[in-house]
Amino acid sequence: MSTKSKSINTKTDSNHDERLKKVSKLKLLLNRPELGALGGAILVFIFFGIVAGDTGMFSAYGMLNFLDVSANLGIIAIAAAMLMIGGEFDLSIGSMIGFAGICIAIPAIYWGWPLWMSIVFAFSMAVLVGYFNGILVVKTGLPSFIVTLAMLFILRGATLALTRLITGRTQVPGLRVLIENDPVAWIFATDTFKWLFTWLGSMKLIALRTDGTPLATGIPPSVIWFIFLAIVTTWILMKTRYGNWIFASGGDKIGANNVGVPVGRVKISLFIGTAVAATIFATIQVLDAGSADTMRGTLKELEAIAAAVVGGCLLTGGYGSAIGAAFGAIIFGTVSMGIFYTDVDTDWFKVFLGAMMLIAVIFNNYIRRKVTESK
């Protein structure tokens, strides 16, 4: 359709609209969903810098410690955030962590499978569970809250029952010896940048053990996964067609459907995403600990959702950011570890977690009103 351009009030070159000058960089930044979490993370670092600056929390070893905790939470928080932007919840993340751990350990220890095959098996199960969650929510139109709450119990129960049935106990140890020479396990079990830490140790820049090796030996795999996922998901959300579909599906699923967005497929893929993220979390932890525990990951789904909310995700969907959830996870991880370096009783951590979430929800609500209010 050829249309003549007449009565143009706005300059078509959006880069040089003179009215845009008045919108400062700061205001643009204020409209970003992750701003609150970024600010919160900076505050948390300043706080611990003052309170616990001289305690070893910010030594190489201490930092890797709280980064590891943050990263583990971050891996599932990012996936939870993507799903929340897509307008759904997944309460079965924690149970999926326990289930995935068992899916790795039992075949590897009891059935004699090579470790890599058990890991592939666990990820296949994750795709199945995610697909099942997704198809159930999409086909029945039931709230994902209920569907995945059911899955929370089913998966945890099945994990316990099957493990006890096959092994007679609730823990499966003995995985550590299998990691070496496995073609896949290293992806989830290798500390990286070891040379850097060895060099830093030899220069006496970081703390050493009595035998002369550095206390912090390398960047844990969780941190690498965390950074990788944060970058990839942010890229997907901001730069790809699929990212636009995620926002659209969460913002208004009927409208999105009417203009040709495959809402069902988008949602199912996001449910698979949370289950797979839970399995990445589980694999890293199981290989690190050398054993699988049926209760692993309990309540993690709520922490992941809390981090996503602190990161700027709206509970109603259609708004949020993956990088925000990453900052949310860093806040929780840093506080949960940092609290050990202060005189504060660690019991207070949960109080902090809850308070943080409340503040975030109120803040997000205010932002949403600002974004959507009419002129």
Partner 1 sequence: MPDYLVQFNNISKFFGKVIALKDVTMKLRKGEIMCLLGDNGAGKSTLIKTLAGVHKPDEGEIIVDGQKITFDSPKDALDIGIATVYQDLALVSLMSVTRNFFMGREPMKGPPFFKTFDIEKANKIAAERMGQIGIDVRDPSQAVGTMSGGERQCLAISRAIYFGAKVLILDEPTSALGVHQASVVLKYIVKAASQGLAVILITHNVHHAYPVGNSFTVLNRGKSLGTYEKKDITREKLLSMMAGGEELDKLEVELKEMNRLSAQ
| The one among 239, 354, 365, 366 contacting partner 1 by CB under 8 A | 239
- Asked if 210 touches partner 1 (CB under 8 A), the answer is no
| The one among 89, 247, 271, 327 contacting partner 1 by CB under 8 A | 247
The DSSP result for 298-364, as a single string, is: TTHHHHHHHHHHHTT--TTSS---HHHHHHHHHHHHHHHHHGGGSSS-TTHHHHHHHHHHHHHHHHH
| The one among 24, 25, 241, 347 contacting partner 1 by CB under 8 A | 241
Q: In which region does residue 204 sit, left (phi positive, over 0), alpha (psi from -120 to 50) or beta (all else)?
A: left
| The one among 124, 192, 213, 240 contacting partner 1 by CB under 8 A | 240
Using the contact rule CB under 8 A, the part of the chain among 135-143, 254-262, 282-290, 330-338 near partner 1 is 254-262
Beta-strand pair 171-172/292-293: antiparallel
Output the smallest distance, CB 244 to partner 1, in A. 6
- Asked if 25 touches partner 1 (CB under 8 A), the answer is no
- Asked if 50 touches partner 1 (CB under 8 A), the answer is no
- Asked if 13 touches partner 1 (CB under 8 A), the answer is yes
Show Cβ contacts of residue 127 under 8 Å, excluding neighbours closer than 6 positions: 272, 275, 276
Residues paired with 208 in a beta bridge: 214
- Asked if 26 touches partner 1 (CB under 8 A), the answer is no
- Asked if 351 touches partner 1 (CB under 8 A), the answer is no
Q: How many CB atoms lie within 10 A of CB 166?
A: 15
Long-range contacts for 43-51 (Cβ within 8 Å, ≥24 apart)? 44/330, 44/331, 44/334, 44/335, 44/338, 45/334, 48/334, 48/338, 48/341, 48/342, 51/341, 51/342
| The one among 170, 244, 298, 342 contacting partner 1 by CB under 8 A | 244
* Residues 51/198, Cβ–Cβ less than 8 Å: no
Output the smallest distance, CB 176 to partner 1, in A. 38
d(CA 245, CA 259): 11
- Asked if 17 touches partner 1 (CB under 8 A), the answer is yes
Sign of CA dihedral 303, 304, 307, 312: negative
User: Taking the mean position of all CA atoms in its chain, how far away is CA 231?
Assistant: 12
| The one among 76, 91, 138, 248 contacting partner 1 by CB under 8 A | 248
Tokens of 207: 């703390």
- Asked if 246 touches partner 1 (CB under 8 A), the answer is no
- Asked if 365 touches partner 1 (CB under 8 A), the answer is no
How many chain residues bind partner 1 (CB under 8 A)?
42
Mark 317-336 with x for binding to partner 1 (rule: CB under 8 A) and - for no binding: -xx-----------------
Angle of the 322-338 helix axis to the 221-239 helix axis, nearest 10: 150
Residue closer to partner 1 (CB basis): 272 or 314: 314
- Asked if 181 touches partner 1 (CB under 8 A), the answer is no
- Asked if 254 touches partner 1 (CB under 8 A), the answer is yes
Q: Which residues bind partner 1 (CB under 8 A)?
A: 1, 3, 5-14, 17, 19-20, 23, 239-241, 243-245, 247-248, 251-252, 254-256, 258-261, 314, 318-319, 368, 371-375
